[in-house]
Chain A
């Protein structure tokens, strides 16, 4: 079992849902880390120091001694392999695939289509009134797929009775991308139930944007 020899460092922005995924994963695996804020609004991702870590300028970035890893999916897989205690994947290979599929519905079919850059584009090219309907359309499409996919496979959590990858990727999306885009959660009873279950977990609460060191004071 890999011991945590160096303290992990996580470059994160309080509101970044991709950063939130990794904050949750680290908490669930009981891995301590140093939180290093990167203010995306102030353009700190373009500083020379940060560009050395991640030339693409995205958060989150994980630093583990000499190892630097970007992209929430890649970081998640690295943590699973390097720190296998408290696994976040089921051992059954088909169930593992289900987790990756659910996570990817969030990463590829929802989040990239409703992130700030795309919404700004839609607002500029189509009109300010199109912004929320566009985001709502893509989120609800992804949520419909998740409801169908997980309907017969969910337990206490998304794919069973243990918290796993699907939950780690779902929770930030459910936390963020619902009220502000007028998503009708009444259509998604399973996701609503899961959201409730997540809010009871201290590891999830501690990872939420409003609880981060760089969150603006209320």
Chain B
């Protein structure tokens, strides 16, 4: 594991937030220390005026780097890639594999745009109220499975030990927590997704991923 600097970054995070999980995993992979700043979403701490200044969408995570504050996990990850280029999470644009980088970004988009928004807390709550808890779960499961079918098709001929080969890249950072949640929270039958299952088996063994998981966070509720 890479040596860590003394913390100068802060990460506003909630232990169960999947978007926060992505950034925690990436920070660990890059060997970057950070101060964990818990935001209790259940208690509504994301709606305080102080937090609204950091992110008007009231979402975690938010990265604090000196006097720069960055919200949105995708924006944070691209910022980290540029500012802290060690242990890159995106492969270079190479003539030998010109699509490798784009593929990683595409996987990230599928998770962050086509899957996660459709099962996140605010969407779920609304459906639960309007339709009922059973439908709320079904909607989440349907969209997770739809996204997973897409990822399975996309990665089928490219997958190695990890999503796009034998190194952990951005696609893995976005997929790891998504697969974890799919199995634990949404009870998705992963036997339908052999490539994704294989990737997840590899990712589960990585210490940086395990350390980033919700149960390991300072604000985890046991």
Q: How many residues of chain A are within 8 Å of chain B by beta carbon?
A: 41
CA of A40 to CA of B81 in the docked complex: distance in angstroms? 36
Q: Does B9 contact A (CB under 8 A)?
A: no
CA distance A55 to B130 in the complex (A): 34
Main secondary structure on B side of the interface with A? helix
| Residue A118 lies at the interface, judged by CB distance under 8 Å to chain B | yes
In the complex, A70 Cα to B79 Cα: how many Å?
Answer: 22
A55-B153, A111-B113 given; A97·B105 CB < 8 A? no
> How many residues of B sit at the interface, in one of the four size bands?
35 or more
| Contact, CB under 8 Å: A74 / B130 | no
Among B37-45, B114-122, B209-217, the stretch in contact with A: B114-122
Determine whether the beta carbon of B105 is less than 8 Å from that of A77: yes
**Residues in chain B near residue A156, CB distance under 8 A:** none
Within 8 A of A (CB), among B94-117: 98-99, 101-103, 105-106, 108-110, 112-114, 116-117
Contact residues in A for B93 (Cβ distance below 8 Å): 78, 81-82
Q: Is the CB of A100 within 8 A of B105?
A: no
What's the minimum C-beta distance from A118 to chain B, rounded to whole angstroms? 7
Specify which of A70, A97, A118, A125 is in contact with B106 (CB 8 Å cutoff). A70
| Chain A contacts to B: CB under 8 angstroms | 55-56, 66-75, 77-78, 81-82, 93-94, 96-98, 100-101, 104-105, 107-109, 111-113, 118, 121, 125-126, 130, 142, 144-145, 148-149
Question: Can you name 5 A-B residue pairings with CB atoms under 8 Å?
Answer: A68-B99, A71-B105, A94-B70, A97-B79, A107-B112
